[in-house]
A and B are shown apart, each in its own frame.
Chain A
Amino acid sequence: MSDQPIIKIRDLSKTYKGNDEPAIKSISLDIFCNEIFGLLGPNGAGKTTAISILCGLFPPTQGKVTIDGWDIHSDLDKIKHIIGVVPQDLALYPTLSALENLTFFGNMYGLRGTLLRDRIHDCLKVFGLEKVAKNQITTYSGGMKRRVNLIAGLLHKPKVLFLDEPTVGIDVQSRIVILDYLNEINKLGTTIIYTSHYMEEAENLCSRVAIVDRGNIISLGNPKDLLGDHTEFKNLENIFLHLTGKDLRD
């Protein structure tokens, strides 16, 4: 992890139309180059809203965000070339094959020809999907779909990769393959911003985590440091429950 912030978030707020309560309340944060940053929080904490703003899907109500020096308001086109997005929902075309889906998304990043074919082939091989590459996504299991969903976001080797709960609802084997691959590309220089409900997963994967609740960052730091600060708790999940409470969330 470098000392150089690749993402600068200043005083970021978002209030959805028709809602009195802001989804994000004046967040300021730096995410450093080559970091795996975990955004943890209960349902409705504001994690997906934060990721959506960082990916330029919609504007914040107030605040400033820069990614690799580019402002999301004025330089979004440039930012889109260096980021990869893996949404929480399976953002794939079910009636197209994995190959057709990945070709389309690769083309959108300007990849074509042999370069694209090789990248798709390599990724499918890593994720054990090469034999079913020509099958329609509808025929895939949940884990296979998640793996294709992930590949679609990193084909163009983005500088910054946003992952919104990439391992939700999949088996242990698929989860291990995905997390190993994320570690691998991180070592090659990709900064990863990641949201999850799996505390153990975040504890092992992330260099830093922010625990978010009701639109605020309530704790920020290295998982080990957080555990050091809260010696009464033996793992991140207990700290998380202590900080966010046990009340059910919508």
Chain B
Amino acid sequence: MFKFFAGFRKELLLLLRDKAGLIILFIMPMVLIIIMSLLQEVGYSSITRESRMKVLFLDNDKDSLGLRIGKGLRNSNFFEVIDSLNGNRVTEKSIREAVKQGDYLIGIVIPKGITKSIRANVSLMVAQTLSGFGMFNPLLINNIPMKNADTVTVFFDPTIKKSFQTAILSNIKEFNYKIETEMVFQTFNQEMSRIFPNYLPPEHNFKESVYFKEVFPTFKKTEEIPNTAQHNVPSWAVFAMFFIIIPFTNSMMTERQEGSLFRIQSLPVSFMKLLFSKVSVYLVVCILQTILMILTGIYLLPLFNAVPLVLGNHLFALSVVTIVISLAALGYGLLVGTIATTNQQAAAFGAVSIIIMAALGGLFVPMYLMSDKMQLVAGFSPLNWALTGYYTIFIRSGGLMEILPQIFKLSLFFIVSVVITFAFRTIKNPLNK
């Protein structure tokens, strides 16, 4: 153990003397978290109902449908309804222009008389139905033509995602169906009251019989909506932890290229023991890096008007998963640093492979946006296991038991990396293991 600690001390001194390296290790991840959180704040906030999207709205109808859509948009937490531009009431032309210029993402135009048309068509449909009961003359009623459907125009900025467009159109269609249903119900009642004077229509108007409740299931009894920081801090922490392989492999390669390895291999100490003293120093770095990133999430993000990270109650699970993720990252670094023959090779392969694993693992694009095949591939990325582990703690309020699968996979990845490293070294140099 004495030699292990001597190696640990040497590695620590080397690291502390490398000021640029320390900045990369500690400051860059903090900056990354702040920038990415601020960039994604709007996107996530819209999901978590913390900010509103501006929608240009022109109601030429001034009747039920127009009023209902306007009211629905205003009451929703997603949209801020804008009906005038530069002090002038919006027109179809000004809405088209504003969306075309990219000043607004959505514009909605409700045509004049649309409610009237719906009402007329509903009355006709009801009359046609009741004519079957001899209440109206079928020959006369069935020959009256339905009014042509009016068009609600929705202008979309071309950058808006298709799924979002579909959601907006579905909402407008839903308002239309509701109004039509209510009108059918009211017209029936009116006609029934007219034909049967003793008929008493129900006191209540049309009421929805199905409600929808939004639930974000967690392992805790209380349900909380995850915020930007809870998404960002874990993903960028994982990214930074795995990116430690760049300075780590650089340290290994420098030793090899500067000639120290020649002497080290002639020393009466196991080479793997010295490598593990290096791993231990970088393990401490990884842990400190994560603590710093968590503190950034808790204390620095609010200074930039971003929501703070909520740590939760599972600090032990958080510590365990952080150590295991760090070991997995360093095990990978050990492997890359052993197999690579030059510093450039290790840096290029290390960086590119981490970016690929991060992309596959859902760090850049959420997994639910990936195709089924890509989601299957994502399941093989150690960065995905790490991210899932953190998400389970931060977002789903899971504890140690809930992250056991991720801990197992990451530990196995570390062990396999070390075994391959050892095997490679043994094959390459059977005298110095």
Residues in chain A within 8 A of chain B (CB atoms):
52, 55-59, 72-73, 76-77, 80-81, 83, 85, 87-96, 100, 103-105, 107-110, 112, 136, 152-153
Contacts and interface: CB of A to CB of B under 8 A. Distances in A.
B159 interface: no
B10 to A, nearest CB: 4
Given A56-B431, A93-B10, A77 B268 contact: yes
Contacts of B316: none
A107 B431 CA distance: 21
Given A92-B260, A108-B267, A57 B13 contact: no
Nearest to B16: A95
B255 to A, nearest CB: 8
A85 B258 contact: no
Contacts of A85: 262-263, 266
Interface of B: 2-3, 6-7, 9-10, 13-14, 17-18, 258-269, 429-432
Given A80-B268, A87-B262, A91-B261, 18 more contacts: A56-B266, A57-B265, A57-B429, A59-B429, A59-B431, A83-B266, A87-B259, A89-B258, A90-B259, A91-B260, A91-B263, A93-B14, A93-B260, A95-B14, A95-B18, A96-B17, A104-B7, A107-B2
Contact of A87 (B7, B13, B263, B269): B263
Contact of A108 (B6, B18, B259): B6
B3 A108 contact: yes
Given A80-B267, A87-B262, A57 B6 contact: no
Nearest to A92: B260
Contacts of A153: 263
A81 B274 CA distance: 17
A174 B430 CA distance: 37
B21 to A, nearest CB: 10
A57 B10 contact: no
A91 B258 CA distance: 7
Main secondary structure of the interface of B (DSSP, over half): helix
A56 to B, nearest CB: 5
Nearest to A55: B266
B268 A90 contact: no
Main secondary structure of the interface of A (DSSP, over half): loop
22 contacts: A59-B431, A76-B432, A77-B268, A80-B266, A80-B268, A83-B266, A88-B259, A89-B262, A91-B258, A91-B260, A91-B261, A91-B263, A93-B14, A93-B260, A95-B17, A96-B10, A100-B13, A103-B6, A105-B267, A110-B3, A152-B263, A153-B263
Contact of A81 (B10, B263, B268): B268
Contacts of B432: 56-58, 76
A73 B430 CA distance: 9
Nearest to B259: A89
Contacts of B264: 91, 108
Contacts of A87: 259, 262-263
A96 B268 contact: no
A109 B266 CA distance: 10
Nearest to A97: B13
B258 to A, nearest CB: 7
A110 B268 contact: yes
A81 to B, nearest CB: 5
A58 B431 contact: yes
A90 B262 CA distance: 10
A55 B264 CA distance: 11
Contact of A90 (B2, B6, B10, B258): B258
B258 A100 contact: no
B272 to A, nearest CB: 13
A93 B260 CA distance: 7
A133 B32 CA distance: 40
A110 B2 CA distance: 8
A58 B221 CA distance: 61
Q: Give the one of A80, A103, A104, A136 with max B CB within 10 A.
A: A104
Nearest to B261: A91
B3 A107 contact: yes
B10 A100 contact: yes
A131 B259 CA distance: 26
B431 A109 contact: no
B431 A96 contact: no
Contacts of A90: 258-259
Contact of A104 (B9, B17, B18): B9
A11 to B, nearest CB: 18
B266 A136 contact: no
A96 B13 contact: yes
Contacts of A94: 258
Contacts of B3: 107-108, 110
A90 B6 CA distance: 20
Contacts of B2: 107, 110, 112
Nearest to A104: B10
Contacts of A59: 429-431
A162 to B, nearest CB: 8
A76 B203 CA distance: 99
Contacts of A92: 260
A207 B263 CA distance: 26
